Amino acid sequence: MKAFRCLLVLLMATAAACGSDRPGTDAATPAPLGQTFESDLRLAKEFGEAYWRQTFSTDGLTYRPVTAFVPYRGDNGPDCGGQPSAPNNAFYCPAGHFIAYDESWMRELYDKMGDGSVYVIIPHELGHAVQAQLNSDFRLNVERELQADCYAGGTLGTLVRSGSLQAEPGDEDELLLNLAAAGDPTDDWLRPDAHGTAEQRQAVFAKGYNEGAAAC
């Protein structure tokens, strides 16, 4: 589709990233790149929250870090406000202010579609944590989800431009692939679980990446 090709060019011009130079280290001796599922997961968590702490601070606000990142497997995930977790999923729980993720599912995505999966999913869920702290209000669930995608793009774009994350060849393809795989099959915005089509999710992610989270 034409829109998809245009978006691919847009992201390739400013490729998102999945390696890392840790903030605070000597610029001449960057820390090792994220090369494993575990290290990429850690980097996505640490840099994602560091980004929002700085962003909130710039606006005169205080970011409240999530209480925990909870890995689970299948049906053994934590409840959220009395609601059971689901397999093959990641979610932010406002009741406990934590993020949980099916570790087996995320690892499978990582192995099949690259480390971009981690750098889409974790910043997206952190976006929901930000929405909760800002008391964001939405008429439709899809609006909430697309803004979280935009926040994820804003996070990655800023981290790449600041040098905290280092772009690697193929990263833009991985991000697009993961966003496409998570898209809804139809453009039914009234569904209570709607997240947006592949094209919609890719477009708002690109908007955040190129224009920053303030554009979300």
Residue 16 lies in a domain: no
pLDDT of residue 215: 95
pLDDT of residue 17: 37
Nearest to 127 by CA among 81, 94, 170: 94
Residue 27 lies in a domain: no
Residue 120 lies in a domain: yes
- Tokens at residue 24, please? 């605070």
pLDDT of residue 193: 66
**Sign of the four-CA dihedral 213, 125, 174, 164:** positive
CA–CA separation, 151 and 157 (whole Å) = 10
Segments of the chain with pLDDT less than 50: 1-33, 183-185
Residue 11 lies in a domain: no
pLDDT of residue 26: 35
Range of the structural domain that residue 56 is part of: 33-215
Structurally, how many domains does the chain consist of? 1
Give 84-98 pLDDT, tens digit per residue: 998 988 999 999 999
Residue 176 lies in a domain: yes
pLDDT of residue 163: 86
CA–CA separation, 204 and 151 (whole Å) = 9
Residue 140 lies in a domain: yes
Residue 82 lies in a domain: yes
Question: For the chain, what's the residue count?
Answer: 216
Give 166-193 pLDDT, tens digit per residue: 767 666 667 777 776 654 445 655 565 6
CA–CA separation, 89 and 27 (whole Å) = 37
Residue 97 lies in a domain: yes
